């Protein structure tokens, strides 16, 4: 699949899809507390997406994924499948939401701290969030993909955390995962040139320990090999002539 440049009409639809995806995270935040299961979080999000937003939860049945959201707890890096596991005080969870509205995808994720977070968990989440924004701030027409990755990598490794390399950001639009791949490490002034009208995700995954990961037998859940904590944040971005537009800002950030 080649990189797609969105027309002005398509950009409008991407804005709507992005805003809706962010609203799911805004909505679910009050439910993230000790004692709730990740499956219950999935049910609440599914109902909200389908009934309130009149949209489609993109992960459901995508290549066989069985749920409407991804819930990655503690040492789970990404693609955690909601289930019976109940959240407990001190857990950290990434909730990853993608909705389809009028044929276009909005994709975003946030870290949530359950109850009283550990110092390490809070710091890991904060550094990941800062790294994501440093990468986003590199985006504008004429810059290159390597500029995004280099900015993220510099910040994360300066803080003595590691970056997962097997999973990355991606182009997005009518397709859930389009070209290009957006790495969260690399060298400045290398890679594909960014063009006005591109839409892509920036979604670094970082670990408190080593960067190595493994895929569990369910074919989806990715965990840190050394069982160390992992964190991820994600936004969908539109490349503009003068810079970037974040399409998945939550109500507080807007």
Q: For each of the chain's 254 residues, which pLDDT tens digit applies?
A: 589 999 999 999 999 999 999 999 999 999 999 999 999 999 999 999 999 999 999 999 999 999 999 999 999 999 999 999 999 999 999 999 999 999 999 999 999 999 999 999 999 999 999 999 999 999 999 999 999 999 999 999 999 999 999 999 999 999 999 999 999 999 999 999 999 999 999 999 999 999 999 999 999 999 999 999 999 999 999 999 899 999 999 999 98
Closest by Cα among 56, 63, 48, 169 to 104: 56
Separation CA 210–CA 9 (nearest Å) = 43
Cα dihedral 178, 184, 190, 195 sign: positive
pLDDT of residue 254: 86
Q: Determine the CATH number of domain 8-246.
A: 3.90.230.10
Task: Supply angle C-alpha 50, 51, 52, rounded to 5.
Answer: 105
pLDDT value for 1: 57
How many CB atoms neighbour CB 189 within 10 A? 10
Report the relative pairing of strands 169-171 and 235-239 from DSSP bridges: unpaired
- For the chain, report the end-to-end CA distance as a whole number of angstroms: 32
Would you kindly state where each structural domain of the chain is located, as residue ranges? 8-246
CB half-sphere exposure, 25, CA atoms < 13 A: 29
Q: For residue 188, report the phi and psi dihedrals to the nearest 5 degrees.
A: -60, 150
């Amino acid at each position: 699949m080649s990189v797609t440049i969105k027309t002005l009409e398509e950009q409008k639809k991407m804005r709507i899809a992005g805003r809706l995806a962010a609203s799911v995270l805004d909505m679910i935040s009050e439910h993230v507390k000790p004692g709730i299961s990740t499956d219950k979080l999935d049910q609440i999000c599914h109902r909200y997406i389908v009934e309130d937003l009149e949209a489609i939860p993109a992960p459901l049945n995508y290549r066989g994924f069985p749920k409407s959201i991804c819930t990655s707890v503690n040492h789970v890096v990404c693609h955690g499948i909601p289930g019976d596991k109940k959240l407990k005080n001190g857990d950290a969870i990434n909730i990853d939401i993608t909705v389809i509205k009028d044929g276009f995808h909005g994709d975003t994720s946030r870290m949530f701290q359950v109850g009283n977070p550990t110092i390490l968990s809070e710091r890991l989440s904060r550094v990941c969030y800062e790294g994501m924004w440093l990468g986003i701030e590199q985006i504008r027409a004429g810059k290159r993909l390597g500029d995004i990755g280099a900015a993220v990598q510099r910040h994360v490794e300066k803080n003595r955390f590691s970056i997962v390399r097997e999973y990355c950001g991606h182009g997005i639009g009518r397709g859930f995962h389009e070209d290009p791949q957006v790495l969260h490490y690399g060298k400045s002034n290398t890679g594909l040139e960014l063009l006005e009208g591109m839409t892509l995700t920036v979604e670094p995954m970082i670990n408190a320990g080593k960067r190595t990961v493994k895929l569990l037998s369910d074919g989806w859940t990715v965990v840190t090999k050394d069982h160390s904590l992992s964190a991820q944040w994600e936004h969908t971005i539109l490349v503009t002539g003068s810079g970037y537009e974040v399409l998945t800002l939550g109500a507080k950030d807007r």
